[in-house]
């Protein structure tokens, strides 16, 4: 496939990136913009009243399209030139995967995060929560994790960063935590 | 008199009052002076000038009104404000007749400003979208808006950016002999189905390819620099990146997110004690942020959206 890269420039523009941005930046910009235009932040509500009701949806559609196109672009790039930025990322359809997730366990979260090309370091920097906690959350090393109230907060932050539904993720994850806690209580 | 080619004029404005424009102007000035630059601050808050208070000096006798009314040379109005390399020109004293200044007078004022012997000239503007304010803004080399993460401030900023660009369009199209095209389009906006600035621009660009070229050039050259003041959490930092995105998507305007400044009670107490903040707390987060954003303004860099750069210091 020989698509001139210029065709993709407008998609990079929609995601507010330079034309040479790597897939990881495409991903994080997509997440950031999606979060911005799918919520009611002070930044958008200060201007939205002058625009038609569906203008936010129109922007979201554009962002989604740009992201889908760019994922194809990176997939082709990978196929054509043996180019590989990060393992097992491009081409994997995250929405499809998410639909099949029955419960957000630690390993499931890890899988989602890796598919989104997000590093634990990024989440830790952003949330100001120690990286180690997130690692323990993914590996379900419950004994190493702090008490329930704190843990729940960390899981919520983690989910939020990945643009997942925090309530659902925390609900699933904390249920697993409590199961572990009861079995441990029974054993001791 | 020779034009000083090396000097750069920065205008600091923004729709809403109380966001810290004067504090930031005085602090950037003090920072640049400390780096060995020659700086002149001009208080152009035509109605309520008080930049002198940030340096703990008394209200001077002379002000910009002497330049406009008595033709006193601008250079002789520069007063010392206790920091070497930093001069200050006072704005008009708050008087009841500080009305409109003619456009020709503003141009003349700017020509004199450019001849001042300095590396950086910082003009502190008043709040609101008064024509005086917007014209001064447009004549500067760098347009800087100061906002705080509050919906009222953000709303006023959008309003301000739109007004400034609207004003710019009018001035530019006038100079191309297309007088009144903007006004006519706006007056008859109901007929043309124009509701927003973006639609107005699209309409004007559709009149002729010539106008489209002019507008495209103006839009790509038009660049506001945003400073986000009084952030209270690291999450607030993203307000700046979000505003950048909204300006692009809704208004079609490119902006530079120059930097952010943490909220600090010491700022208020310094102002009330008439102490210069940058001299009193040179190692504070706020002082460091001012230094960082000044460099960003000089080199036209910005806070990037990359998450790992969000955390230069804990809040």
For position A116, which CATH number holds? 1.10.260.40
Q: Do A126 and B307 touch (CB under 8 A)?
A: yes
Which own/partner pairs from A40-45 qualify as long-range (CB within 8 Å, at least 24 positions apart)? Answer: A41/B239, A41/B242, A42/B149, A42/B150, A42/B151, A42/B154, A42/B239, A43/B154, A43/B239, A43/B242, A43/B243, A43/B246, A44/B242, A44/B246, A45/B151
Residue A95 resides in a domain: no
Closest chain A CA to residue B239: A43
**For residue B225, what pLDDT is reported?**
96
Residue A170 resides in a domain: yes
C-beta of residue B40 within 8 angstroms of C-beta of residue B88: yes
Domain count for chain A, please give it: 2
- Share above pLDDT 90 across residues of chain B, in percent, rounded to a whole number: 41
Cβ-based neighbour number of residue B254 at 10 Å: 14
Q: Are A107 and A181 contained in the same domain?
A: yes
Residue A96 resides in a domain: no
Strand-pairing partners, residue B262, are B231
Substitution target from B193, B195, B245 for chain A, most A beta carbons within 10 A: B245
Distance CA B237, CA A125 (A): 13
**For residue B99, what pLDDT is reported?**
57
- CA end-to-end span of chain B: 49
Distance from CA of B149 to the nearest CA of A (A): 8
C-beta of residue B128 within 8 angstroms of C-beta of residue B120: no
Tokens 């004199």 identify what position? B112
**For residue B179, what pLDDT is reported?**
75
Q: Are A107 and A60 contained in the same domain?
A: no
Substitution target from B237, B244, B246, B302 for chain A, most A beta carbons within 10 A: B246
C-beta of residue B290 within 8 angstroms of C-beta of residue B301: no
Residues of B with CB under 8 A from a CB of A: 149-151, 154-155, 158, 195-196, 234, 238-239, 241-246, 248-251, 305-308, 310-311, 314
Closest chain A CA to residue B147: A43
A89 against B8, higher pLDDT: B8
Given a cut of 80, whether residue A187 has pLDDT beyond it is no
Q: Are A75 and A110 contained in the same domain?
A: no
Given a cut of 70, whether residue A23 has pLDDT beyond it is yes
* Rounded (10°) angle between helices A166-187 and A148-161: 150
Q: Are A131 and A163 contained in the same domain?
A: yes
Substitution target from A22, A43, A61 for chain B, most B beta carbons within 10 A: A43
Distance CA B112, CA B3 (A): 9
Q: For each of the domains in chain B, give its residue range(s) and CATH number, in order of start.
A: 8-167+217-306 (3.40.50.300)
Given a cut of 60, whether residue B76 has pLDDT beyond it is yes
Q: Are A181 and A108 contained in the same domain?
A: yes
What is the maximal distance between C-alpha atoms in chain A?
65
C-beta of residue A116 within 8 angstroms of C-beta of residue A34: no
C-beta of residue B169 within 8 angstroms of C-beta of residue B182: yes
CATH of the domain at A60: 1.10.287
C-beta of residue B77 within 8 angstroms of C-beta of residue B63: yes
Residue A87 resides in a domain: no
**Taking CB atoms and an 8 Å cutoff, what residues of chain A touch B307?**
28, 122, 125-126
**For residue A60, what pLDDT is reported?**
93
**B109 Cβ neighbours under 8 A, 6+ residues apart:** B67, B68, B74, B101
Question: Averaged over A86-112, what is the pLDDT?
Answer: 73
**Taking CB atoms and an 8 Å cutoff, what residues of chain A touch B250?**
47, 51, 55
Tokens 């095209």 identify what position? B181
**How many residues appear in chain B?**
315
Q: Which of A25, A42, A55 sits opposite B151 (nearest CB)?
A: A42
C-beta of residue B125 within 8 angstroms of C-beta of residue B21: yes
* C-alpha Rg value of chain B to the nearest Å: 20
Confidence label for B36 from pLDDT (cuts 50, 70 and 90)? very high
Residue A107 resides in a domain: yes
Residue A109 resides in a domain: yes
Partner B contacted by A125 (CB < 8 A): yes
Strand-pairing partners, residue B145, are B13, B226
**Taking CB atoms and an 8 Å cutoff, what residues of chain A touch B240?**
none
Closest chain A CA to residue B240: A43
**B302 Cβ neighbours under 8 A, 6+ residues apart:** B256, B257, B258, B259, B296
> Which domain range does residue A117 map to?
102-187
Substitution target from B151, B242, B255 for chain A, most A beta carbons within 10 A: B242
Q: Do B250 and A51 touch (CB under 8 A)?
A: yes
Evaluated on CA atoms B81, B83, B89, B94, the torsion sign reads negative
DSSP calls for B128-180: S--HHHHHHHHHSSEEEEEE-SSHHHHHHHHHHHHHHHHHHHHHHHHHTT-TT
- Picking from A20, A50, A81, the residue at the C-terminal end of a domain is A81
Confidence label for B129 from pLDDT (cuts 50, 70 and 90)? confident
Distance from CA of A33 to the nearest CA of B (A): 8
Q: Are A132 and A164 contained in the same domain?
A: yes
Closest chain B CA to residue A125: B308
Residue A86 resides in a domain: no
Given a cut of 60, whether residue B284 has pLDDT beyond it is yes
Q: Are A183 and A113 contained in the same domain?
A: yes
Distance from CA of B277 to the nearest CA of A (A): 29
pLDDT tens for each residue of A131-162: 999 999 999 999 999 999 999 999 999 998 88
Residue A13 resides in a domain: yes
Q: Which of A28, A42, A51 sits opposite B307 (nearest CB)?
A: A28
Distance CA A147, CA A138 (A): 16
């Amino acid at each position: 496939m020989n698509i001139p890269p210029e065709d993709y420039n407008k998609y990079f523009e929609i995601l507010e990136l330079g034309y040479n941005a790597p897939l990881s930046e495409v991903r994080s910009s997509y997440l950031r913009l999606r979060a911005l235009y799918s919520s009611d932040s002070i930044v958008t509500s200060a201007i939205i009243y002058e625009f038609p009701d569906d203008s936010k949806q129109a922007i979201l559609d554009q962002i989604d399209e740009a992201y889908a196109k760019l994922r194809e672009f990176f997939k082709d790039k990978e196929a054509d030139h043996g180019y590989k930025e990060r393992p097992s990322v491009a081409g994997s359809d995250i929405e499809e995967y998410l639909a099949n997730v029955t419960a957000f366990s630690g390993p499931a979260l890890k899988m989602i995060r890796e598919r989104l090309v997000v590093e634990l370091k990024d989440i830790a920097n952003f949330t100001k929560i120690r990286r180690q906690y997130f690692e323990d959350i993914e590996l379900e090393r419950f004994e190493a994790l702090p008490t329930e109230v704190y843990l729940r907060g960390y899981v919520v932050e983690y989910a939020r960063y990945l643009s997942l539904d925090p309530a659902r993720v925390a609900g699933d994850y904390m249920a697993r935590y409590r199961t572990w806690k009861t079995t441990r209580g029974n054993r001791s | 008199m020779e034009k000083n080619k090396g000097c750069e004029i920065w205008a600091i404005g923004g729709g809403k009052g109380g966001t810290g424009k004067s504090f930031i102007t005085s602090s950037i000035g003090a920072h640049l002076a400390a780096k060995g630059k020659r700086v002149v601050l001009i208080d152009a808050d035509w109605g309520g000038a008080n930049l002198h208070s940030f340096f703990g000096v008394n209200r001077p006798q002379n002000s910009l009104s002497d330049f406009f009314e008595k033709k006193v040379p601008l250079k002789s109005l520069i007063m010392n404000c206790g920091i070497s390399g930093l001069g200050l020109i006072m704005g008009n004293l708050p008087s009841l007749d500080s009305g409109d200044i003619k456009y020709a007078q503003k141009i003349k004022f700017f020509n004199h400003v450019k001849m001042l012997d300095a590396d950086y000239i910082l003009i502190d503007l008043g709040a609101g979208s008064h024509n005086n304010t917007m014209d001064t803004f447009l004549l500067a080399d760098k347009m800087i808006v100061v906002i705080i993460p509050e919906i009222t401030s953000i709303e006023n900023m959008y309003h301000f950016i739109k007004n400034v660009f609207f004003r710019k369009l009018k001035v530019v199209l006038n100079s191309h002999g297309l007088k009144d095209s903007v006004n006519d389009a706006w007056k008859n906006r109901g007929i043309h189905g124009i509701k927003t600035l973006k639609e107005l621009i699209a309409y004007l660009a559709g009149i002729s390819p010539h106008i489209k070229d002019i507008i495209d050039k103006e839009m790509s050259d038009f660049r506001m620099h945003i400073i986000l003041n009084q952030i209270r959490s690291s999450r607030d930092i993203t307000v700046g990146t979000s505003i950048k995105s909204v300006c692009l998507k809704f208004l079609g305007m490119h902006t530079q997110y120059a930097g952010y400044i943490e909220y600090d009670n010491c700022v208020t107490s310094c102002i009330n004690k008439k102490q210069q903040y940058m001299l009193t707390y040179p190692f504070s987060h706020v002082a460091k942020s001012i230094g960082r954003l000044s460099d960003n303004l000089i080199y036209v860099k910005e806070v990037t959206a990359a998450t790992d750069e969000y955390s230069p210091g804990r809040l």
